[in-house]
Amino acid sequence: MDRVLLVLGGLAIAGAVAALLGRRPDAPAVNTTHVPRQLDRADFTRPDAPWLVAVFTSATCHSCAAVWDRARQLESDQVAVAEVEVGRDATLHERYRIDAVPTLVISDAAGVVRRAFLGTVSAPDLGAAIDDVRRTGSSAAETAADEGDHGI
């Protein structure tokens, strides 16, 4: 009888160890946040400007205000800057499938998104991104090469 209990105990322990070793880890988190790859420049201020910095925000988002403050410093003859606040511009948030704020995109004259940032972005990183896209230009060859580059 003692042997039977000992064997059953051993089988229970072996079964528990096998169950732990055979257990699969949880699947990794999937990034479901959408960043547009193309904008219709007519949807935004100054569509004739060579560059657009569009900041998708919400009035209740504190980090949005900080990103907007940094972005609007970039306004110039060459760079149009637009705040797209969800309460005021819900149709644009829906059109471009914006599901997280702040989302900042830098697009060229054709509306191709050349860089994008989700969440907060520092002033030096934002300045470097706009300098980089302006330096590289927006020729068809460069646009094709950068098509997958979203800075995120």
Distance CA 123, CA 128 (A): 8
Give residue 12's Cα distance to chain centre: 49
The CB-based long-range contact list for 130-135 (8 Å cut-off, 24+ gap) reads 130/51, 130/53, 130/74, 130/79, 130/106, 133/51, 133/106, 133/108, 134/50, 134/51, 134/78, 134/79
DSSP category for residue 112? B
State the CATH number of the domain containing residue 87. Answer: 3.40.30.10
Task: Tell me the whole-structure pTM to 2 decimals.
Answer: 0.71
Any domain includes 26 = no
Any domain includes 4 = no
Residue 66, both tokens? 């900080």
Any domain includes 128 = yes
Indicate the number of domains in the chain: 1
Which of 94, 68, 65 lies closest to 81, judged by CA? 68
Any domain includes 106 = yes
Residue 11 has pLDDT above 80, yes or no: no
Secondary structure of residue 86 in the 3-state scheme = coil
- State the pLDDT at residue 149: 39
Span of 32-41, 43-52, 112-121 with lowest mean pLDDT:
32-41
Residue 59 and residue 87 in contact, taking contact as beta carbons nearer than 8 Å: yes
Any domain includes 33 = no
Report strand pairing: 103-107 vs 113-118. Answer: antiparallel
What range does the domain containing 109 cover?
41-146
Any domain includes 17 = no
Residue 17, both tokens? 């160890």
Any domain includes 62 = yes
Residue 119 has pLDDT above 60, yes or no: yes
Which of 116, 141, 121, 101 lies closest to 38, judged by CA? 116
Q: What is the mean pLDDT of the chain?
A: 83
Span of 48-62, 77-91, 99-113, 136-150 with lowest mean pLDDT:
136-150
Any domain includes 142 = yes
